[in-house]
Structure 1
Amino acid sequence: MRFNKYYLAALTAFVVWGFFSLVLKPLHDFPSLDILFYRIFYAVVLLLAINLGFRREALRKDLALWQSFTRDQKRRTIGMTVAGGVLLTANWFIFIYAINHVSLKSASFAYLICPIVTTVLAYFILKETLSKWQWLAIGISALSCAILSYGSMKDLLYSLVIALTFALYLIIQRKYNQFDRLVVLSAQIIIVALLMLPFFPAYSGPVPVGYFFYTMIGIIAVVFTIIPLFLNLYALKGMDSAAVGILMYINPMINFLLAVFWFKEDIDLVQIISYGLILVSVIIFNERILFKRNARHEN
């Protein structure tokens, strides 16, 4: 992979996401639902401002495409957009809850196995093909999950749910990708915000007082949501998905290192073995790109 501005954009996005826990941990005294509510509401305002202020041409193109659809196509698109928004919101909530109330390791493990979970789902749903090396990597990943379950079944369950919700979200984006991705993300978050708004009075905690909470939520919305999404979308203009997939593993590895060396979370031999196997599976899964092999040599 040649290092260029697209590679730098993707690298920056995943490094930024890797440090997400540094702003989530200080909010551990606030309910996870409140963090999710305000993150979504902030994101709606910011995304509307970005699209209406700077991306009107993309909006016009997407509107013209929408008007060309049949009634069935529109119905399916709306259904997938709503489903994508619900999955993304569920992923955010469970991720926030896991970091603040379970363990940072469970969240980092989730995004280590997420690319492989996504690939398995793509094989069955999108009929994408897998090489024998990739199947071997999936088997090693499954073994790692089994080993981790002996150390902490709770961590494993949260990791799998986080990975599954994000993997299903990515599958929907792959299957329905005719529209501009940032416009689709905006529509999904707006839909979810409207769905969640009736629950806000009943399930939100007391209105936070002071600047700390709102400052941190603002940082989350801007630095850890909008900016990396822009960088990731920009990177995809000049990089293939496999190359971006390798960089995706930067995020959970930073999470894991922060959990051990910054937040001083306990780690045992079982977890070390599990994470080690995941790293092995990552290398095997991406061996063609890492070692610049050709497809004809796989069999």
Structure 2
Amino acid sequence: MKTTKYYLAAITAYTIWGFFSLVLKPIHEYPSLDILFYRVFSCSILMLLIAFTFKRKRIKETIETFKALSKTEKKKTLLLNFGGSFFLMANWFTFIYVMNHISVKATSLAYLVCPILTTLLAYFLLHEKLTKIQWISVGLSISGCLLLSYSDIMDMFFSIIIGLTYASYLVSQRVNKGFDKFIILTFHITLAAIVLLPFYPVYSGPVPTEFKFYFCIETIAVLFTIFPLFLNLYALSGINSSTVGMLLNINPMIAFGLANFVYHENISGLQIAAYSIIFIAVLVFNSHHLLAIKQKYSLSSKDCQ
């Protein structure tokens, strides 16, 4: 049961992300690039302040650890972290664009496709092993996604782009070990901010003046970016990326509920059936852990009698 805390970290992160539309939709009238700029800049400033105020010792340890690596390991570490930053940027922009200009359902579908892509990438690139039951779960997820794409092929197209960028981030960070997770995340986001900074004067719109915009941006930065991403990296340090990827399905199922009950997007019986299949797939994929928890509590209750 040593992995329970990592499961809880992933579940908490993806539950939070499921409610992302609640703070993103209110500022949908702003250009997607502006939202991306201010989100990344805010996150970077906040994380740098925290890092240099409370984690200076960790920063020194990280630098010393990096210096002690061989040339090959240094190249690998740089590739993983520069790549991770790129995948995050790509994921954030495509997610914001699709949610505000295509549909909430399309972003919801993206994070149903993402676990499949994560599992396949982890299997072929990291050689993570899957049981027969877990392969059945992947098959169920694929069938659910195919049902959803049947009604709108363009939603599937955009979903694959969003899903692939985040799947690539998850898989790359699974092997990015040996460093403080907060420092690594600070590096990813700060690098993204540095890359985006030259584009800000050219591609940004007028400087926003509404309090609502800055309130939503800071909420996105702290509650929907820094906190869940840290939990996500922590989860990857204890469980396989394929498992973390499958738990990601929690996010779109919540988003699907919001699309139906809050935003009143048209939801068909086919879509309800597809989401139900995918929900079952998540339970099947993690059935070994659920059974282990059940057995633990059964033994505990017997010991108490």
TM range (shorter): 0.7 to 0.9
1:127 is matched with: 127
1:172 is matched with: 172
Query: Residue type of the partner of 1:148?
Result: L
Whether the 8 Å CA contact 2:106–2:156 is kept in 1: the answer is yes
Tell me the distance in 2 between the aligned counterparts of 1:234 and 1:71: 26
Q: What CA deviation, in whole Å up to 9, does each residue of 1:85-139 have, x standing for no partner?
A: 0101111111111211111122122223323321111110011111111112222
Tell me the distance in 1 between the aligned counterparts of 2:71 and 2:3: 44
Q: Which runs of 5+ in 2 are unaligned?
A: 294-305
RMSD: 2.6
Tell me the distance in 1 between the aligned counterparts of 2:224 and 2:72: 36
The 5 Å alignment of 1:1-299 reads 11-232=11-232, 240=239, 248-292=248-292
The 1:273/1:8 distance shift into structure 2, 3 A limit, reads closer
Shift of 1:18: 1.8
Q: Which moved more, 1:124-133 or 1:242-251?
A: 242-251
Whether the 8 Å CA contact 2:87–2:165 is kept in 1: the answer is yes
Tell me the distance in 1 between the aligned counterparts of 2:5 and 2:126: 31
Whether the 8 Å CA contact 1:109–1:275 is kept in 2: the answer is no
Instruction: Give the structure-2-normalised TM-score.
Output: 0.86
Tell me the distance in 2 between the aligned counterparts of 1:246 and 1:139: 12
The 1:104/1:59 distance shift into structure 2, 3 A limit, reads same
Shift of 1:7: 6.7
Whether the 8 Å CA contact 2:10–2:232 is kept in 1: the answer is yes
Shift of 1:260: 0.3
Instruction: Give the structure-1-normalised TM-score.
Output: 0.88
SS at match of 2:292: coil
Q: What CA deviation, in whole Å up to 9, does each residue of 1:180-226 have, x standing for no partner?
A: 22211111122221111111112111221232212211111112122
Q: What CA deviation, in whole Å up to 9, does each residue of 1:211-256 have, x standing for no partner?
A: 221221111111212233345566678x745886675433222111
Q: What CA deviation, in whole Å up to 9, does each residue of 1:155-192 have, x standing for no partner?
A: 11122221111111011101222212221111112222
SS at match of 2:278: helix
2:296 is matched with: none
Q: What CA deviation, in whole Å up to 9, does each residue of 1:25-69 have, x standing for no partner?
A: 011100111100110000110110111111222212211111112
Query: Residue type of the partner of 1:108?
Result: S
The 1:236/1:78 distance shift into structure 2, 3 A limit, reads closer
Whether the 8 Å CA contact 1:87–1:168 is kept in 2: the answer is yes
Tell me the distance in 2 between the aligned counterparts of 1:108 and 1:38: 23
Q: Which moved more, 1:95-104 or 1:33-42?
A: 95-104
Whether the 8 Å CA contact 2:246–2:285 is kept in 1: the answer is no
Whether the 8 Å CA contact 1:243–1:289 is kept in 2: the answer is no
* Percent identity over paired residues: 48
Q: Which runs of 5+ in 1 are unaligned?
A: 294-299
SS at match of 1:179: coil
Query: Residue type of the partner of 1:32?
Result: S
The 1:140/1:2 distance shift into structure 2, 3 A limit, reads same
